[in-house]
Structure 1
């Protein structure tokens, strides 16, 4: 159980403000990119929609749609990790908004590291087109994942009863969708992966395994 003390820590006015920022950004996205936002919510099921946007995109990382969604990703993942900290009862020197900001900074640095490392490896191995295609799919699937997780996070925040159960469901759904995301990436790009197996293994170790090991070392 999260317990009364943890619930008191989690339910603060600033969390509502974070949700307002997220929903405001999604509202802007809907106003500017209504069709694309709608398609994003179904990328797990409709590969053709994703490919059509990939072919239209000149810069897959730095365009207004992805930049706005990156902010939504950052705020949502940081909130999920903030709740996970309370759920696990980890003792850290600060709490509340300060802890959330620290987590958000850590998540942003992690995202930046992944982006720069991926670009560097693609440059070294001269596979820019392969990297762009896989990265676009990863970003798109993750955008989809965030849209699925966000309602559950809101329920975890404002539902007074069964809050522990709802958060467990939220965490389970998040992990399940991550597995689905990686499975779809492997299935959709099996030829590219096998043709660039060394790059893919190096990419996997540098961007997926090493960060997880570092996080575990820091928290355990």
Structure 2
């Protein structure tokens, strides 16, 4: 009988990461219960956006906690996708996860600053700020779906591409609903700046996705 080498992957750090994300979400729910109730029905009701889309919304602790929850889970999801599709040499260390987390946080920060700068240049910071807040809020909501997908990929449907595809489709649907509602609610305000809005979408929304997709494909 020949010995068979069996590699056992430690899931301890992934479990801790998932638990930390849930603690952040629970903390937001506990400290800001009314805001959380409005947030949890976001795709079906715009009450959260309408009530909290005001000056200082980006620095509110509830928004910051949800964004942290999003970063933790989205980074883990990207890490798992890289593993499943073998985009880079297989590396299951926690260091790789923190590299993904750092790049994602830096990407979102730079993108946010560029978007706000665009609003400043066109002298319409409030409109752009409202658009960004709405978009981030729907992305934060999507992270709930992503966290469920992470649990499935780690413990139940390990390395399942179907789980990944379903999660991505749901995320696109949720964020698509957000964009559609945003355009509907602000169509009069956006109409005079329609060409600027198209330019904004091409440069700060579509272009980064195309560049990342091209890099991964290559």
Structure 2 length-normalised TM: 0.86
Cross-structure match for 2:202: 205
Q: CA RMSD in A?
A: 2.3
Cross-structure match for 1:136: 133
- Encode CA deviations 1:75-125: one digit per residue, 9 max, x unaligned: 111111111112211124744312211111111111111110011111111
Q: Which has the larger radius of gyration?
A: 2
Q: How far apart, CA to CA, are the structure 2 residues paired with 1:156 and 1:183? A: 30
Q: Is the 8 Å Cα contact of residues 152 and 166 (structure 1) preserved in structure 2?
A: yes
Cross-structure match for 1:19: 18
Whose relative contact order is higher, 1 or 2, with alpha carbons under 8 Å and at least 6 apart?
1
Q: How far apart, CA to CA, are the structure 1 residues paired with 2:146 and 2:175? A: 11
Q: Does 1:150 align with 2:144?
A: no
Q: How far apart, CA to CA, are the structure 1 residues paired with 2:159 and 2:132? A: 37
Structure 1 length-normalised TM: 0.85
Change (3 A) 1:21 1:126: same
Cross-structure match for 1:4: none
**1:22 shift after superposition:** 0.5
**1:194 shift after superposition:** 1.8
**1:208 shift after superposition:** 0.9
Cross-structure match for 1:38: 37
Structure 2 residues without counterparts, runs of 5 or longer: 1-6
Following TM superposition, where does structure 1 have runs of at least 4 consecutive aligned residues deviating by more than 6 angstroms? none
Moved more, 24-33 or 172-181: 172-181
**Superposed counterparts of 1:156-171, under 5 Å:** 156-160=153-157, 163-171=160-168
Alignment length, in residue pairs? 211
Change (3 A) 1:148 1:161: closer
